[in-house]
Amino acid sequence: MRKLILAAAALIATQSEAQAPAPPKLLVVISVDQFSANLFDEYRPQWTGGLARLASGTVFRNGYQSHAATETCPGHSTLLTGDHPSRTGIISNAWIDQKVGRSDISIYCAEDESVPGTSSTAYKASPKHLLVPTLGELMKARWPGSRTVAVAGKDRAAIMMGGQRPDQRWYWTGTRFQTDLAGAAVPAVVTRVNAAVAAALAQPRDPLEPTPFCQSKAREIPIEGGGKPVGAGRLARKAGEANAFRASPELDGDTLALAAGLIDELKLGRGAAPDLLAISLSATDYVGHAYGTEGEEMCLQLTELDRELGDFFKVLDSRGIPYAVALTADHGGKDVPERERLAGVAKATRVNSALFPAEMGKALVARLGLSGPGLIGGSPQGDIYLDAHLKQADRARLLAAAVAAYKADPQVAAVFTARQIARTPAPTGNPVGWSLIQRARASFYPGRSGDFVVFLKRDITPIANTSSYVATHGSPYDYDRRVPILFWRPGRTGTTVERPAETTDILPTIASMIGLPIAAGSIDGHCLPEPAGAACKR
Q: Which residues are catalytic?
A: 72
Rounded to a whole number of angstroms, the minimum distance from the CB of residue 83 to Zn ion is 18
Contact indicator for 252, 287 with CB cutoff of 8 Å: no
CA distance 128 to 135: 16
Rounded to a whole number of angstroms, the minimum distance from the CB of residue 73 to Zn ion is 8
> Is the CB of 111 or the CB of 330 nearer to Zn ion?
330
Rounded to a whole number of angstroms, the minimum distance from the CB of residue 75 to Zn ion is 6
Give the x-and-dash track for 54-73 against Zn ion (CB under 5 A).
Answer: ------------------x-
Task: Annotate 503-512 with b (16+ C-beta within 10 A) or e (fewer).
Answer: bbbbbbbbbb
Rounded to a whole number of angstroms, the minimum distance from the CB of residue 150 to Zn ion is 15
Figure out which of the listed residues 33, 83, 478, 502 binds Zn ion, where binding follows CB under 5 A: 33
Rounded to a whole number of angstroms, the minimum distance from the CB of residue 76 to Zn ion is 7
Give the range of 182-190, 210-218, 223-231, 325-333 binding Zn ion by CB under 5 A.
Answer: 325-333
CA distance 515 to 527: 12
Count interface residues toward Zn ion (CB under 5 A): 4
Instruction: Please report whether residue 340 would count as binding Zn ion according to CB under 5 A.
Output: no
> Is the CB of 281 or the CB of 364 nearer to Zn ion?
281
Rounded to a whole number of angstroms, the minimum distance from the CB of residue 331 to Zn ion is 5
Figure out which of the listed residues 285, 297, 340, 502 binds Zn ion, where binding follows CB under 5 A: 285
Give the range of 61-69, 256-264, 327-335, 444-452 binding Zn ion by CB under 5 A.
Answer: 327-335
The two beta strands, 106-108 and 94-96, are: antiparallel
Q: Where are the beta strands (DSSP E) in 33-108?
A: 58-64, 94-96, 106-108
Instruction: Calculate helix-pair angle for 357-368, 392-408, nearest 10 degrees.
Output: 120
One-letter amino acid at 56 equals: S
> Closest residue to Zn ion, Cβ-based?
72
> Is the CB of 147 or the CB of 154 nearer to Zn ion?
154
Give the range of 48-56, 97-105, 329-337, 378-386 binding Zn ion by CB under 5 A.
Answer: 329-337
Cβ neighbors of 448 (< 8 A, separation 6 or more) are 89, 91, 95, 97, 107
* One-character DSSP codes across 482-523: EEEEEEE-TT----EE-S-EEGGGHHHHHHHHTT----TTSS
**Cβ-based neighbour number of residue 42 at 10 Å:** 15
> Is the CB of 31 or the CB of 146 nearer to Zn ion?
31
> Is the CB of 377 or the CB of 474 nearer to Zn ion?
474
Q: Would you put residue 515 in left (φ > 0), alpha (ψ -120 to 50) or beta?
A: left
Give the range of 16-24, 196-204, 328-336, 504-512 binding Zn ion by CB under 5 A.
Answer: 328-336
Rounded to a whole number of angstroms, the minimum distance from the CB of residue 154 to Zn ion is 7
Number of alpha carbons in the 13 Å side-chain half-sphere of residue 61: 14
* Helices vs. strands in the chain: H and E counts, helices first: 20, 18
> Is the CB of 330 or the CB of 505 nearer to Zn ion?
330
Instruction: Please report whether residue 155 would count as binding Zn ion according to CB under 5 A.
Output: no
> Is the CB of 31 or the CB of 126 nearer to Zn ion?
31
Instruction: Please report whether residue 330 would count as binding Zn ion according to CB under 5 A.
Output: yes
CA distance 533 to 520: 20
Q: Which residues contribute to the site for Zn ion (CB under 5 A)?
A: 33, 72, 285, 330
